[in-house]
């Protein structure tokens, strides 16, 4: 399978949104219950560190992005990681290729800490983060509700080399 990693732009949004929606429907990817529109999503993510991975037919198989964790100056180098893989493409190394690109881009753009909060049930995400040197730094019990159920999250961080 021939794969390319490209900067995520508005032309990819329809496919990205479908993958995002697949993740939402699993109930283990995010507290969000609906996909934001392009303008909202675009304004909340770093422009320098967001990618799609496409096959030879230009089908988006996964996407990743970094978002600032705070508007405070002191935290300008801390970013939250999002990685979403098309359900039919899971298990093909897509997440690893995206994470590798995201880490490289983050370091080239002055990000010193990558942060990720995930549901403990999302084993694939936990393994992906651990594979790339993220370490568990926290556990938040019953931090928020999703569809009427209180959920826990675990926090992972990775410092730049």
pLDDT in tens, 111-156: 999 999 999 999 999 999 999 999 999 999 999 999 999 999 999 9
CA gap 161, 145 in Å, rounded: 35
pLDDT over 70 at 86, yes or no: yes
| Residue in the block written with tokens 């990681």 | 81
pLDDT in tens, 51-76: 999 999 999 999 999 999 999 999 99
CA distances from 67 to 85, 141, 156, 158 (A): 18, 23, 15, 15
- Beta-strand runs (E) in 41-112: 50-54, 60-68, 78-85
CA gap 13, 147 in Å, rounded: 26
CA distances from 47 to 10, 61, 100, 124 (A): 12, 20, 17, 26
For residue 161, the model assigns a pLDDT of 79
Which CATH fold topology does 4-114 show? Aminopeptidase (3.40.630)
For the chain, the domains span: 4-114
């Amino acid at each position: 399978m021939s794969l390319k990693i490209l900067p995520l732009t508005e032309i990819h949004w329809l496919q990205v949104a479908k993958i995002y929606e697949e993740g939402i429907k699993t109930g283990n990817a995010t507290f969000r219950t609906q996909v934001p529109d392009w303008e909202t999503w675009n304004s909340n993510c770093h422009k320098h560190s967001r990618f799609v991975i496409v096959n030879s037919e230009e089908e988006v198989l996964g996407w990743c992005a970094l978002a600032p964790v705070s508007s405070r100056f002191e935290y300008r180098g801390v970013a939250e990681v999002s990685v979403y893989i098309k359900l039919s493409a899971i298990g093909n190394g897509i997440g690893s290729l995206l994470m590798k690109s995201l880490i490289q881009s983050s370091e080239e753009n002055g990000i010193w800490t990558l942060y990720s909060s995930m549901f403990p049930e999302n084993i694939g995400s936990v393994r992906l983060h651990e594979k790339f040197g993220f370490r568990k730094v926290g556990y938040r019990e019953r931090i928020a509700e999703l569809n009427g159920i209180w959920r826990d999250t675990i926090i992972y961080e990775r410092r730049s080399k």
